[in-house]
Amino acid sequence: MLLISFITLQLFSCKDRIIINSSNKTFTNFPLKKQLNLKKLVKYKFGNVRQIISIDSTLILKNHGGRAYNLYNYSLKTNIFSKPYIQRGKNVGQVLGLTNIGVYKNSLYLNDFTAKKMMVLNKNNAIKDSSNLDIKEFSFRDNRYYRSILIDSLHAICTGSEKSKYKIQIINLPTGKIIDEFGRLNNRPKKIPLHIITKASLTQTFISPNSKKLVLAYIHTDVIEIFDINTKKSISLKGPENFNTEFKNYQNRWFETKKTRVAYIGGAVTKKYIYLLYSGKKFSNLNAYSTKSVFVYDWNLKPIKKIKLNMDVSQISVSNDDKILYSFDKNRKNITYAKLN
């Protein structure tokens, strides 16, 4: 049920508050609930999958742990994994702290949070044989971002800055300079350091296939925002559980409390829908970053349906035609799938 009333979203730190968006619509129920049974596609033996991108007949897999490489491909045609590529490290051509990957036209990009840079590869070459990757690297200078997304050959859009009062930055890649910012965090308590506010308001970030809209799905409150990149205006929705971010500031560091919860842990977008993997569990729960729940919204933030999976997963991806959902079961180390239609 969608409530027409408006609320103010707040992040609580004792008596402090941070206004994320002052005009959130709220809802409590999805109009449709659907059961979906996942099946094993293949065993994953290289570590843990932290992100999945489905492109035609290939899954690009962001790898964590295991061997010293960041990426693998899995062919849905041949059922074979590629050789690993992009080593972990601090050197040129390596990525040390990979937080997200994505695809823009014929580019595959990687966000290195630790090294404060974006790496851009030739996507077709990466899928074909990962030997001639045509690597380009762009420094973010003294800034690091939790998420960065390539929006054209010269610019990236980023979230999770530790130094800005704004949620979103647009970066000129050749210079590494911020050329625009928007989505201001209003009424920020001056006594709370900016890096703590950033930690409290981190989001899973996705861009629409036409690169016109940006989705911010908050990790510690069940809020979603969609920004129009051209107008800088946003719409937002809170629910279905309607809980706020809870944290404490101790010695200028972010700490969870007994009430801290985890909301959105991953997702995928298509031309029609936004698919978000939703936890809702306490931060202290060892399985807080796995769930059976997928929430589906349209691009006007209308709740479409809640999908209940038959097992806990930690990552999802959806084919461009909205027909197949891929996921990762980290308990059994399997890549799984199910038909959506």
What domains appear along the chain, each with residue ranges and CATH number?
2-33+80-303 (2.120.10)
Q: In this predicted model, what pLDDT tens digit does every residue of 261-298 receive, in sequence order? A: 999 999 999 999 999 999 999 999 999 999 999 999 99
User: Mean of the pLDDT values across residues 330-338?
Assistant: 97
SS (H, E, C) the chain: CEEEEEECCEEEECCEEEECCCCEEEECCCCCEEEECCEEEEECCCCEEEEEEEECCEEEEEEECCCCEEEEEEECCCCCECCCEEEECCCCCCECCEEEEEEECCEEEEEECCCCEEEEEEHHHHHHCCCCCCCEEEECCCCCCCEEEEEECCEEEEECCCCCCEEEEEEECCCCEEEEEEEECECCCCCCCHHHHHHHCCEEEEECCCCCEEEEEECCCCEEEEEECCCCCEEEEECCCCCCEECEEECCEEECCCCCECCEEEEEECCCEEEEEECCCECCCCCCCCEEEEEEEECCCCEEEEEEEEEEECEEEECCCCCEEEEEECCCCEEEEEECC
pLDDT for residue 203: 97
User: Mean of the pLDDT values across residues 239-266?
Assistant: 92
Share of the chain above pLDDT 90, in %: 82
Residue 199 has pLDDT above 50, yes or no: yes
Q: In this predicted model, what pLDDT tens digit does every residue of 15-69 receive, in sequence order? A: 455 556 665 799 999 999 999 999 999 999 999 999 999 999 999 999 998 779 9
Contact indicator for 288, 302 with CB cutoff of 8 Å: no
pTM: 0.94
pLDDT for residue 129: 79
Q: In this predicted model, what pLDDT tens digit does every residue of 203-227 receive, in sequence order? A: 999 999 999 999 999 999 999 999 9
